[in-house]
Amino acid sequence: MNYPKFNRILLKLSGEILAGNKGYGIDPEITQSLALKIKEVSKKGIEVGIVIGGGNIFRGISSDSKGLDRVPGDYIGMMATIMNSVALQSALEGLDCDTRVMSALSITQLAEPYIRRKGIRHLEKGRIVIFAGGTGNPYFSTDTAAALRAIEINADIIIKGTKVDGVYTEDPEKNPSATKYDSLTFKEVIEKELRVMDLTAITLCKENNLPIIIFDIKSKTGLLDIINSEPIGTTVS
C-alpha cells in the first residue's frame, strides 16, 4: 500500500518522548533530534502542525490518585504541554525553521493565542505551528487536542510518533510475540479497544474521515519515509 502525498500534516508527539532515557523532564538531545526530523519534512514543502503531550512533566489524568483534583491537575498538564512546545520551538528556530507556538491557554509572553484562521495562515506561509495547551479545557487529552486541531486546520492526516513502530495485538514490550497491524479501520480500533488514541480522538477522526499513521518516532528516517509514501507503521482509516 502506498500512502498519498500529503500537503499538510498534524504530527502528534507524546511528552514522554522528550524525556529520553531520563524518564522525566526535557532532554535537549531529543528535542534537537526531533527538530532535525521535522525540518527535513518542512523543507519538502509540507505544512507541519504539531501537538505535544505533557506526560514527561505532569499527567493530569493520574492526579486524582495523588490527592489533586482532576480539573487543576488537567490545567497543570496543559501548562506542561506549553513548556514542551516552547522547548521544541527553540530547537527548531535554532535550525532556522520559522516556528510559532499557539496556545489554547492565554500565556502571551510565550505563545500566541490559538486562533484557527491565524494558525492556517502561518502554515500557508511555511511556518511550523505547535499547538499547545491541549484543547484549553479539562477532561480532554492531547490526543483529542491533536484530532481537533487537525480537523480545524484541514490537515490531510495525523501522524502519531510513538515508542513502537505501529499498533500491535498486544503490548510488544510485554509480549514479544505480539503481531503488528499494517492497517486497521476505525471500527476495528474501537471494537478491539486498541490503544491507538483515546476514544474521543478516534471518534473525531472517524466522523471526519481523518486517517492516522502510527510509527516509531525514534526511527531516523521514519517521518520522512511516510512523507515519501513508504509503507511505514500502521494506518488507521
Q: What is the CATH number of the domain that holds 14?
A: 3.40.1160.10
pLDDT at 20 over 90: no
The answer to whether position 2 is within a domain reads no
* Number of structural domains in the chain: 1
Grid coordinates representing 127? 511556518
The predicted-structure confidence for 128-160, as pLDDT tens digits, reads as follows 999 999 999 999 999 999 999 999 999 999 999
Residues 6+ apart with CB under 8 A from 18: 25, 26, 27, 30, 31, 34, 52, 56, 84, 87, 88
The answer to whether position 140 is within a domain reads yes
Report, as an integer, the average pLDDT of 120-131.
98
Q: What is the pLDDT of residue 55?
A: 87
pTM for this structure? 0.92
pLDDT at 1 over 70: no
Grid coordinates representing 115? 486562533
Q: What is the pLDDT of residue 61?
A: 55
At 106, the pLDDT band (50, 70, 90 cuts) reads very high
Euclidean distance between CA atoms 168 and 178, whole angstroms: 6
Nearest to 156 by CA among 73, 65, 41: 41
The answer to whether position 102 is within a domain reads yes
Phi, psi for 50 (deg, rounded to 5):
-135, 140
Q: What is the pLDDT of residue 90?
A: 97
pLDDT at 5 over 80: no
At 22, the pLDDT band (50, 70, 90 cuts) reads confident
What is the extent of the structural domain holding 26?
8-236
